[in-house]
Amino acid sequence: MDAFADTALFTLLVAMLGGAIRVSTPFMFVALGECLTEKSGRINLGLEGNLVLGAMIAYAISFHTGSPWTGVLAAGLSGLFLGAIHGYVCKLPRVNDIAVGIAMMAFGTGLAFYLGKPYIQPSAPRLEAIPLGEWTGIPSLAQALAINPLFFVGIALAVGMSWFFRNTRMGLVVRTTGDSAPAAKAMGVSVDLVRFLATAAGGFLAGVGGSFLSLSYPGSWNEGLSSGQGLMAVALVIFARWDPIRCVWAALLFGAAGAIGPAMQAIGVTQGFYFFNAAPYILTLLIMASSARSRFSGRDAPGELSIVK
Amino acid sequence: MAETAAAIPKSAPRARAAGPRLGPAAEVVCIVALALIASAILFSLFLLVIGASPITFFQLVWLGGFGTAFSFQNTLQRAAPLILTGLAFAIPARIGLTMIGAEGALVIGGFASAAIAIPLVTSGAPPVLTLAIMASAAMIAGGLWTALAGWLRHARGVNETISSLLLTYIAIAIMFFFVEGALRDPGSANRPSTLPIGRETMIGDIPGTSVHWGLLVGIALAGALWVLMSRTTFGFAARLTGGNPRAALAQGLPVGTLIVACAAIAGACAGLAGFFEVAAVHGQANAALVAGYGFTGILVAFLARQNPLAVVPVAILFGALAAAGGLVQRRMDLPDASVLVLQGIIFVVLLASETLYGRAKIFRPAEEGR
């Protein structure tokens, strides 16, 4: 075991394991938020904006209050704010939800860059990770297994959301709204209200995902913090076929792809750093090309969704 | 396209043109103006909340964008790439594609033109030939880049909004991979770049101004694309496909070819913007190509309601906003991102204003009065 622990392969695998867990957490939250919104029959492409604004707000609040968890909550509220705007604007007749998503992405990142200027320098208290790997006695493995509590919150949320969709009346209402608005109306449900609430709640989750970026990994606020994770999460939800549990697995897969670049650096391969960094985007594109028109995807997609038509 | 022409009844475009056309046009102008005023009010409230003066802000935007000959030329300089990236969003939008990948096509086009220039410049080819090859390389690279998103849409049903954005990140990664690796000019120490194409190869300014030729090319292209989309069989087929893809298929239109062609035109426009950034502004490819022109172009196209001719004045408006950014930053001590906030507000309000169309009776043509 000790001999294996010294090999480059072991270092690479451990770095990828740790990286997958770290990188996947924001994916997980954004994907779960998007999953909730899409289940109600609306698409929100603007979660990238929620992610960036959430990261900035979490960092600023954590800096001022000294409590990172207050920062997480504030990030969620900022996401709720953006989600509510998206939900309200899309409720108006003749408004295209995909275009509004692009606009909200521009608005959210613009607001974050504007408000975030003073917070690029100072350092705020970060979320403490739970050391789960001390028993192994291998420092690199212990480091990889120091897992942020938000990761477990995300998994619990996925399980809870899956249960919510399957076993509760509210879950049924959301699913019906997403599959057939006329059927929901016949049930006496306000389609607009359900979609508004689902979009706002989805925005909240994406904001929490953003807080992980600034408070845990990479762990500081700057303008290059997120590069498309919010949009990749939308692709991830399609790949996961609108199932919260599958969203977790897909997030881990995307996390592993995102961890290839830093992991290769850890074993001293610096050549092609940018190429490895592009891996998650290429993976997303390939997955979408192979799954977008599959039989399963058509069966599981909410019927009202504009993006799969 | 011969079989397409036969499939479309000749009287169709004329029948649409027969009604009074002032009504809808006036409606567009009124609603867009209303959206801009509402955005200005919302942004003023935002400025008041953070304790800045909205009046000073808009005065400075006027001064920095149009106030002097110098600032107006700065505005036009910044408007040039915005015209091209605005067209890059507007053309696919007419066929029903929401493509946000102009930034990537601009980067890959600019990079391709800078890369192909390296052997030409070192071997001493004449500047005119070098520039022609560079421009072609940029248009081909950008065109192929977005055509891929169009093809994925048609052949595999991949959502083009997401795929075009993913391709943008891949394009940026490709550029950095080469610029910081194989194609890096050893002379560029602090800022990795490709080999400069040299002052004698670079495109000069329009005589008597400090505005590069990209502006005139952009305006000419906007006119040409307006003719293509509004006055040709190709444009009619594309708009028909955008309005109702199933009807277009039923009519026997080559929907796949049309989609890929419109996507490729978009990429070629954005690639051309990248070419001008390299050949007229920076002289080499580096991180400066990733300046957000592609993303502002989306907003330009939406404000122009996907009309190629309207893209030109709207691009100049946003060029002025960008040109004034520095002045606002210095005089009011506001971060340059305040322009991004204003753009975001305009964007959201503008899309929300879509809901107003068809509500006011005065804009309706008499025959259609329901």
| pLDDT value of position A85 | 96
Biggest distance spanned by C-alpha atoms of chain A: 67
Residue A171 lies in a domain: yes
Q: How confident is the model at residue B5 (pLDDT cuts 50, 70, 90)?
A: very low
Establish whether the linkage from the previous residue to A149 is cis, with ω within 30° of 0: no
Domain membership of residue A264 (yes or no) is yes
CB B285, CB B194: distance < 8 Å = yes
Give the percent of chain B with pLDDT over 90: 67
CB atoms B166 and A281 under 8 Å: yes
Residues 265-284 of A with CB under 8 A from B: 271-272, 274-275, 277-278, 281-282, 284
Q: Given CB atoms, is A117 within the 8 Å cutoff of chain B?
A: yes
How many beta carbons lie within 10 A of that of residue A187, not counting itself?
Answer: 12
| pLDDT tens per residue across span B281-330 | 999 999 999 988 998 999 999 999 999 999 999 999 999 998 888 888 88
| Residues A278-293 pLDDT 10s | 888 898 899 888 876 6
Domain assignment present for residue A308? The answer is: no
Supply the range of the domain harboring residue A110. Answer: 18-126+148-300
pLDDT of residue B346: 93
Q: Which residues of A touch B340 (CB under 8 A)?
A: 106, 109-110, 113-114
The nearest alpha carbon in chain B to A49 belongs to B344
pLDDT band at B221 (very low <50, low <70, confident <90, very high): very high
Tokens linked to A2: 């000790």
Could you tell me if residue A211 is inside a domain? Answer: yes
What DSSP designation does A307 have? S
Q: How confident is the model at residue A18 (pLDDT cuts 50, 70, 90)?
A: confident
Residue A221's CATH number: 1.10.3470
Structure tokens at B185: 């000019």
CB contact under 8 A, A100 and B170: no
Residue written as token pair 């990172």 = A68
Instruction: Tell me the chain B residues in contact with residue A281 when contact means C-beta distances shorter than 8 Å.
Output: 166-167, 169-170, 173
Question: In whole numbers, what is the pLDDT of chain B averaged over residues?
Answer: 88
| Per-residue pLDDT tens digits for B18-58 | 444 557 788 888 999 999 999 999 999 999 998 889 999 99
In a domain, residue A71? The reply is: yes
Tell me the chain A residues in contact with residue B295 when contact means C-beta distances shorter than 8 Å: 106
Quick check: B60 pLDDT over 80?
yes
CB contact set of B298 (below 8 Å; sequence gap of 6+) = A102, A106, B85, B89, B100, B102
State whether residue A298 sits within 8 Å of chain B by CB: no
Q: How far is B153 from chain A (nearest CA, A)?
A: 9
DSSP secondary structure string for all residues of A163-224: HHHHH-HHHHHHHHHHH-HHHHHHTT--HHHHHHHHHHHHHHHHHHHHHHHHHTSS-S--TT
pLDDT band at B363 (very low <50, low <70, confident <90, very high): confident
Closest CA–CA distance from residue A42 to any residue of chain B (Å): 15
Contacts of A117 in chain B (CB under 8 A): 335, 337
Q: Which chain B residues are closer than 8 Å to A85 by Cβ? A: 348
Average pLDDT over residues A106-119: 92
Overall number of domains in chain A: 1
Q: Quick check: B66 and B72 in contact, CB under 8 A?
A: yes
Mean per-residue pLDDT, A134-154: 86
**Which DSSP category does A304 fall into?**
T
Optimal mutation site among B42, B47, B107, B351, interface A, most CBs of chain A within 10 A: B351
- A82 or A123, which is more confident? A82
Residue A258 lies in a domain: yes
CA distances from A96 to A111, A270, B179, B281, B348 (A): 22, 44, 39, 37, 11
What is the reported pLDDT for A138?
82
pLDDT tops 80 at residue B364: no
**Structural domains in chain B?**
22-52+334-365 (no CATH), 74-332 (1.10.3470)
Nearest residue on chain B to A271, judged by CA atoms? B181
**What local confidence, expressed as pLDDT, does residue A75 receive?**
97
Give this complex's ipTM: 0.89
Is the CB of residue B35 less than 8 Å from the CB of residue B302? no
In this structure, the strands spanning A130-131 and A146-147 are antiparallel
Q: Please indicate whether residue A140 or residue B135 has the higher confidence score (pLDDT).
A: B135
Q: For A279, what's the count of Cα atoms within 13 Å in the CB-facing half-sphere?
A: 16
In a domain, A246, yes or no: yes
Confidence (pLDDT) at B14:
43
d(CA A260, CA A20): 9
Q: What is the pLDDT of residues A264-281, one digit of tens each?
A: 877 777 777 788 888 888
pLDDT the model gives residue B338: 86
Rounded mean pLDDT of A186-202?
Answer: 95
Where is pLDDT greater, at A239 or B173?
A: B173
Asked whether residue A142 is assigned to any structural domain, the reply reads: no
